[in-house]
């Protein structure tokens, strides 16, 4: 059995941020959230969670900056060296990369701050650790037309297990296996 290699940290800040944004999208989807990305990168947020009737804007940040003299990581909350204005986004999704931990923090809890401390012995933000349910609760619209209670439900998913798999499914499966291999090789 081959020993799993620990992935190398991306040193370029911009590339590391882009990588963290893609990790956020994957984790949000794993948590059953509808994830959308605005075109371009000139908005004050990186993703939108939700659907018709209710969207919430999410700013994604990541950190590998260990705090001096304490346990934890400093997460910068600035854009172009300026603090975000009130209402720039609804939630911060902050990723402590070396701990593989997400913090889903409402904007009101960090408003006006230039940085916060994550994975710390100071518990101020620990209640937001892996708090994906906050995004789920905030992004629930009036009525989702695809939910079973609306009368438009399809057959249970287990009825599709024996369904024929077309070329699109095979391409998706190959892409996922390739991506898994890429991650296991540490992004090389």
pLDDT tens profile 102-142: 999 999 999 999 999 998 777 899 999 999 999 999 988 65
- Tell me 4's DSSP state: P
**Rounded Cα distance, 52 and 34, in Å:** 11
Domain ranges (residues) in the chain: 13-147
CB 134 within 8 A of CB 91: yes
DSSP 3-state of 122: coil
- Residue 36 confidence (pLDDT): 93
Global confidence as pTM? 0.70
- Residue 10 confidence (pLDDT): 81
- Residue 4 confidence (pLDDT): 59
- Residue 45 confidence (pLDDT): 92
162: left (phi over 0), alpha (psi -120 to 50) or beta: alpha
Q: What percent of the chain has pLDDT over 90?
A: 47
**Rounded Cα distance, 58 and 79, in Å:** 14
- Residues of the chain under the 70 pLDDT cut: 1-7, 70, 141-173, 175, 178-179, 182, 187-188
CB 35 within 8 A of CB 28: yes
Tokens of 109: 């809890």
Class of domain 13-147: alpha beta
């Amino acid at each position: 059995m081959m020993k799993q290699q620990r992935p190398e940290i991306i040193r370029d800040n911009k590339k590391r941020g882009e990588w963290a944004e893609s990790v956020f999208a994957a984790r949000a989807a794993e948590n059953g959230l509808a994830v959308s990305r605005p075109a371009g990168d000139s908005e004050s947020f990186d993703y939108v969670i939700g659907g018709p009737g209710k969207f919430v804007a999410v700013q994604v940040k990541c950190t590998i900056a260990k705090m001096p003299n304490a346990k934890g990581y400093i997460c910068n909350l600035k854009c172009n060296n300026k603090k975000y204005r009130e209402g720039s986004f609804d939630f911060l999704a902050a990723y402590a990369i070396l701990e593989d931990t997400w913090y889903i923090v409402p904007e009101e809890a960090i408003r006006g701050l230039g940085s916060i401390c994550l994975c710390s012995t100071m518990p101020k933000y620990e209640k937001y650790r892996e708090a994906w349910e906050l995004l789920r609760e905030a992004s629930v619209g009036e009525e989702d037309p695809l939910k079973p209670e609306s009368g438009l439900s399809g057959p249970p998913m287990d009825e599709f297990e024996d369904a024929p798999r077309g070329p699109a499914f095979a391409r998706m499966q190959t892409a996922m296996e390739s991506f898994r291999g890429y991650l296991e090789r540490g992004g090389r």
